[in-house]
Amino acid sequence: MAKKKSRNRKRKLKGLKALLALALIICAAIALKAIPGAWEFLSKYLPFIEEPRQITVPDGDMAVHFLDVGQGDCSLIVLPSGKTVLIDASTNDEGDNIIEYLSYQKVKHIDYFVLTHPHADHIGSAKQIIEALSIGKVVMPDIETNTATFTNLLLAIDKKDIPIHVAKVGDIIKLDNANMKILGPVNKTDDLNNMSIVLRLDYGKTSFMFTGDAEEPSEKDMLEKFSSSEFRADVLKVGHHGASTSSSLEFITVISPKYAVISCGKDNTYGHPHTETIKTLNKLGIKYYRTDKVGNVVFSSDGEKVTLLRPTA
């Protein structure tokens, strides 16, 4: 009888320990969410700890277009609800091309116009687009330049009284069934490329990464700031048109995309994309598409998987 009671006490004690362990796990999870920077702090010293990704609830197919705009960048996101995001506006001679493409896609209103940084090959046609379409909000980094292109852009924004959202690292912009999270720039610098807005677009379980012209210093800052789970994406817009100063092996490895898109002009004088970047993509087995070779690149996502629509296989 005494042995039976002893076994029962041991079972109860074991059960209490299990309940206590579960309570501690729950409390720890709550604390990690409540304390700013807790996930980042722990993941820095315990690499196996990663902040869980916030998965959105999909409702139909989302389309992501990478436009063939010569030696520049321009991407269009169209959500099932009809909400739209335009990221960058290439050079000042691509405005008609971009506006015609938007018209073909039946886009008359841009909810968020993201201008990753104020270089002319990213904001060149922004003024023309703002004048031609309805714009809900402009998203820009916290940096200015004294070029005529940038000054004219600000005047166009002011004339139409469009609100400006100054991007801050960690910001989440909610778009119905999708989220855009700002991952960079982490640190302020006078280098315009490294002040590029870097953002991850999440739709259901799928993600797209847009990197502007961010180079290795910015990539390093982001990798130090966030846990690796923040970077994983199905599709990557390769940084700085495939320049060797971007797309470090560590950065691309962490993102681990299935597809990559390089936006660059045919026979451009910069030599983009550089051999080093192509070697990195090949080494990691990433299928890449160059707009100078294949034209527009278009993907769709149903929230579960990403499908390449153009170019067709």
| pLDDT (tens digit per residue) in 95-130 | 999 999 999 999 999 999 999 999 999 999 999 999
CB proximity list for 161: less than 8 A, separation 6 or greater: none
Output the pLDDT for position 47.
Answer: 46
Position 20 scores a pLDDT of 66
pTM score:
0.83
Residues 49-81 as b or e (16 or more Cβ within 10 Å = b): ebbeeeebebbeebbbbbbbbbbbbbbbbbbbe
Give the span between the Cα atoms of 119 and 91, in whole angstroms: 9
From its phi and psi, is residue 60 left (phi > 0), alpha (psi between -120 and 50) or beta? left
Lowest mean pLDDT among 16-20, 59-63, 218-222, 250-254: 16-20
In one-letter notation, the amino acid at residue 123 is I
Q: What is the pLDDT of residues 150-194, one digit of tens each?
A: 999 999 999 999 999 999 999 999 998 999 999 999 999 999 999
Picking from 21-35, 83-97, 230-244, 260-274, which range would have the lowest pLDDT averaged per residue? Answer: 21-35
The first and second tokens of residue 181, run together, are 């999270």
Q: Is the pLDDT of residue 11 over 70?
A: no
Q: Give the per-residue pLDDT at 36.
A: 46
pLDDT at 294 over 70: yes
pLDDT for res 10:
58
**Nearest one of 301, 303, 304 to 65, comparing CA atoms:** 301
Closest CA to 246 of 204, 206, 199, 196: 196
Residue 3 predicted with pLDDT over 70: no
> CA dist 144 to 29, 148, 156, 180, Å?
40, 12, 15, 23
Compute the average pLDDT of residues 127-155: 97
For range 72-81, the mean pLDDT: 97
DSSP H helical ranges for the chain: 2-34, 38-45, 95-104, 120-123, 126-132, 148-159, 216-225, 249-255, 275-283, 291-294
Q: Report CA-CA distances (Å) from 23 to 20, 32, 134, 309.
A: 5, 14, 52, 48
Homologous superfamily in CATH for domain 62-310: Ribonuclease Z/Hydroxyacylglutathione hydrolase-like (3.60.15.10)
- The span from the CA of 236 to the CA of 211, in Å, is 8
Q: Which residues contact 102 (CB under 8 A, 6 or more apart)?
A: 76, 86, 108, 129, 133
CA dihedral 55, 56, 60, 61 (to 10 degrees): -60
User: Do the bridges between strand 75-78 and strand 198-203 make them parallel or antiparallel, or are there none, so unpaired?
Assistant: unpaired
Q: What is the CA 299 to chain-centroid distance, rounded?
A: 15
Reported confidence tier of residue 38, pLDDT bands at 50, 70, 90: low
CA–CA separation, 55 and 203 (whole Å)? 7
- Beta strand 109-114 with 84-87 is parallel
Domain ranges (residues) in the chain:
2-34, 62-310
Query: What is the average pLDDT score of the chain?
Result: 89
255: pLDDT strictly greater than 80: yes
Quote the percentage of the chain above a pLDDT of 90: 79
Check residue 310 and give its pLDDT.
94
- DSSP state letters, 119-162: -HHHHTTHHHHHHHSEEEEEEE-S-----HHHHHHHHHHHHTT-
